[in-house]
Amino acid sequence: MSKVCAICGKKPMVGNNVSHANNRTKKVWYPNLQTVNAVVNGQRRKVTVCTRCLRSGAVKKG
């Protein structure tokens, strides 16, 4: 399963953890993705969507 929302295309973000001593290490923030049964082109299909799309009603669950 790729970590990309099927509706809005939200992907993982990358950046740095910065410690108090200003040491920097790579960090990845993943979107909150859920697998839901949704109606796509009139058919019921499992899709991976972020919770923002679920909450906004962009996905018709079925």
pLDDT of residue 33: 97
CA 20, distance to chain mean position in Å, is: 30
pLDDT of residue 4: 97
pLDDT of residue 54: 95
pLDDT of residue 2: 87
Q: What is the pLDDT of residues 8-56, one digit of tens each?
A: 999 999 999 999 999 999 999 999 999 999 999 999 999 999 999 999 9
How far apart CA 30 and CA 43 sit, in angstroms, is 28
pLDDT of residue 62: 82
- Between the two ends of the chain, the Cα-to-Cα distance in Å is 21
